[in-house]
Structure 1
Amino acid sequence: MYRRRDTRRDLLVAEITAELRRYSVDAQHIGHAFAGLHGLGTTDLHALIAVMDAELYGDPMTPGRLGRQLNLSSGSVTALVDRLERAGHIRRDRDATDRRKVLLHYADRGAALAMDFFRPLGRRTDEVMARFSDEELETVHRFMSAMTTSMREHRDAVRAARTGTPSPPTD
């Protein structure tokens, strides 16, 4: 499983890969701790993250898109959205330009719970980023974006192999 690392680059790639794996596991533990405190399941947590990310990028989530992203049936998405709405984590709004379209948004109560829980992590993240120059952060951003794209492509390929059908691209 382990091979000899002959060059500095080989060692660096191995170290970065190990750090990404540890980061992923730790992030999952933190996410599950938040979910556990608020009675959320894994799919609930993934849905909240998808809604939050969509809002962050100025492209509010729709139930249909959420279903495609989480690989859920229409009925499962409805139950998920109902559950998260009842718990105060998200809200449904009609699109101002197309009243037939439903948009999902992080609700104030859900946002407050997330802020309270994740604020200490946010401070730690800010402290770490402050130690890097703008140019270094540009490089890290480019690297993380490429790694995220690669991971999502692999996730979609695994999903397609498991279900026997191609997965639609995700946001």
Structure 2
Amino acid sequence: MNDNLELVHLLRAVTVEFGLRQAEFAARNSMHSTDVRALICLLDAARAEEAATAGLLGTRLGLNSAGTTAVIDRLERLGHVKRIRDEYDRRRVLLRVEPEAVRLGWEFFGPLIERVVGVLDGFDVDERDTIRRFLTGVLAATDTTTP
């Protein structure tokens, strides 16, 4: 098999495994898999210091406004997300992941994250830069909004 295709197949296997873990987390916590992806998007936005709005979430998940509202409503009912008014623009509603949802996520995904970090610890700085460049390129290649 072509060396490049072998890497593509390994990457696919990793994404399948991550998807299975997300589905298991969703099932254990009475959530839909889209709810888990929504929480990930909101946590990523918080890490990037982006305003987490329904519009941002809908765009990232590829949902229309009704679908986005349904996801937010489910997450709010479960106590995982809270709607809060933007302190700078009171007309805008922001979404915040609640601490209990973060705790549940770390409880479930923490050991996996620690194992992955352990694998990365086996690579030197230049190798991690190469991995980062590869994953960034793959992420860009999956972007269907650009030709």
Task: Give your verdict on TM over 0.5.
Answer: yes
Could you say which residue in structure 2 is the equivalent of 1:77? 68
Does residue 35 of structure 2 align to residue 44 of structure 1? Answer: yes
Partner Cα separation in structure 2 for residue 60 and residue 110 of structure 1: 19
Does residue 86 of structure 2 align to residue 98 of structure 1? Answer: no
Q: Secondary structure of 1:152's match?
A: coil
Aligned residues: 146
Segments of 5+ residues of structure 1 without an aligned counterpart are 6-10, 158-171
Could you say which residue in structure 1 is the equivalent of 2:56? 65
Deviation string 1:6-59 (CA, Å, 9 cap, x unpaired) is xxxxx3202211101100111110110001100111221221111111112111
Partner Cα separation in structure 2 for residue 17 and residue 128 of structure 1: 19
- Aligned-residue identity in percent: 34
Could you say which residue in structure 1 is the equivalent of 2:12? 21
Could you say which residue in structure 1 is the equivalent of 2:105? 114
Could you say which residue in structure 1 is the equivalent of 2:134? 143
Segments of 5+ residues of structure 2 without an aligned counterpart are none
- Residue of 114, 118, 122 corresponding to 1:123: 114
Q: Is the 8 A contact 1:60 1:105 kept in 2?
A: no
Residue identity opposite 2:95 in structure 1? L
Could you say which residue in structure 2 is the equivalent of 1:30? 21
Segments of 4+ moved more than 4 angstroms: none
Deviation string 1:112-153 (CA, Å, 9 cap, x unpaired) is 100100111011011101100111111110110110111132
Partner Cα separation in structure 1 for residue 113 and residue 60 of structure 2: 26
Give the TM-score of the pair, scaled to structure 2: 0.92
Residue identity opposite 1:83 in structure 2? R
The CA deviation at 1:90 is 1.4
Q: Which has the larger radius of gyration?
A: 1
Partner Cα separation in structure 1 for residue 26 and residue 52 of structure 2: 20
Give the TM-score of the pair, scaled to structure 1: 0.79
